[in-house]
Chain A
């Protein structure tokens, strides 16, 4: 069993909080960040460029900028039902597990309020 990717819109203040944890990184080449059926290795916030989520070649959607994906699945070891890809030239915040745990410890993990069905 696995979960559909949900994008959590973030405010400017929330993005600033995340940037303090992890600076924005640029993807120079297109890459599959998460394959369908895998657990994400990080949470991602797209700041510029393009990230797409697809369950099949004909069924894909774009992730809006300034929204967070995959953080809850990373923390709870949940596989995704879709593939996440990033286009070249895109900039994103990469939120690894250690950063997420640090934010939980410091009470700054605002994005965890969206978890409804943690296993």
Chain B
């Protein structure tokens, strides 16, 4: 006999509840949401949705990291952002009625909830807090995108790398003895893609940051050892 999916399903106990757009819903409403959503695990490399295909719902990241990539007309893929616990994905395509303009791929073992469009639209109409939180998320995404465009024009690669490490510190930083550990696994190619440079250039500037004592690497683990120094290096108002 087939058994039901064993993943934890209750929104009330989700580790990302406080970070998500449904945090203001009451217990009963969260219970209904728990029944409506579909929870799945995605292994590294598995896609949630693909650029060019039709959207029919929204994804809510409960655990893990998802990279959002866009393939240009030249066939070159670039990472436009990384979604983590509490983030929502696919929401913009729902409201613009356009096909997905990016692909979402799990960077590591991730747990993601899918909520269909009909239910999301119902919630947005009936619950102002959900609409407000969703607008807030979209606003933050827009701000981050504008900041990124601005960085590409105004900053050199060194500065963009330092800025990116500081952003990772905000989303994935864990205080440890060695410094602030960036708890996310990214390949050099992925990091290079995010800051818009070649892998070789990234490696060179990472070495420079290490020599300056701003970061430390232990194997693939990156630690920020001098945050203020990195802020100055990134040439930002922080």
Taking Cβ atoms with an 8 Å cutoff, the residues of A that contact B are 1-3, 25-32, 35, 37-42, 73-74, 76-79, 94, 96-99, 102, 117, 119
Contacts and interface: CB of A to CB of B under 8 A. Distances in A.
Contacts of B119: 97-98
A78 B52 contact: no
B80 to A, nearest CB: 17
A98 B114 contact: no
Contacts, number: 85
A27 B49 CA distance: 11
B40 A26 contact: no
B5 A35 contact: no
Nearest to A24: B54
A1 B56 contact: no
B40 A27 contact: no
Contacts of A28: 52-53, 99
Given A27-B54, A94-B54, A38 B40 contact: yes
A29 B4 contact: no
A2 B6 CA distance: 11
Interface in B34-90: 36, 38-43, 46-47, 49-54, 56-57
Interface of B: 1-5, 9, 36, 38-43, 46-47, 49-54, 56-57, 99, 114, 116-119, 122
Contact of A96 (B2, B3, B116): B116
Contact of A42 (B43, B47, B56): B56
20 contacts: A1-B1, A2-B2, A25-B54, A28-B53, A29-B51, A31-B53, A32-B47, A35-B43, A38-B40, A39-B5, A41-B40, A41-B116, A42-B57, A73-B2, A77-B38, A78-B3, A96-B116, A96-B117, A98-B118, A117-B2
A102 to B, nearest CB: 8
Shortest Cβ-Cβ A-B pairs, 6 listed: A96-B116, A98-B118, A3-B2, A1-B3, A25-B54, A29-B52
Nearest to B47: A32
A97 B38 contact: yes
Given A42-B56, A96-B118, 10 more contacts: A1-B3, A37-B41, A41-B57, A76-B4, A94-B56, A96-B117, A97-B119, A98-B36, A98-B116, A98-B117
Contacts of A39: 5, 38-40
Contacts of B38: 39-41, 74, 77, 97
Contacts of B43: 35
A109 to B, nearest CB: 15
Contacts of B1: 1, 117, 119
Contacts of A78: 2-5
Contact of B4 (A32, A96, A97, A119): A119
A119 B56 contact: no
A73 B117 CA distance: 19
B108 to A, nearest CB: 15
A47 B43 CA distance: 30
A63 B139 CA distance: 42
B2 A1 contact: yes
A63 B114 CA distance: 24
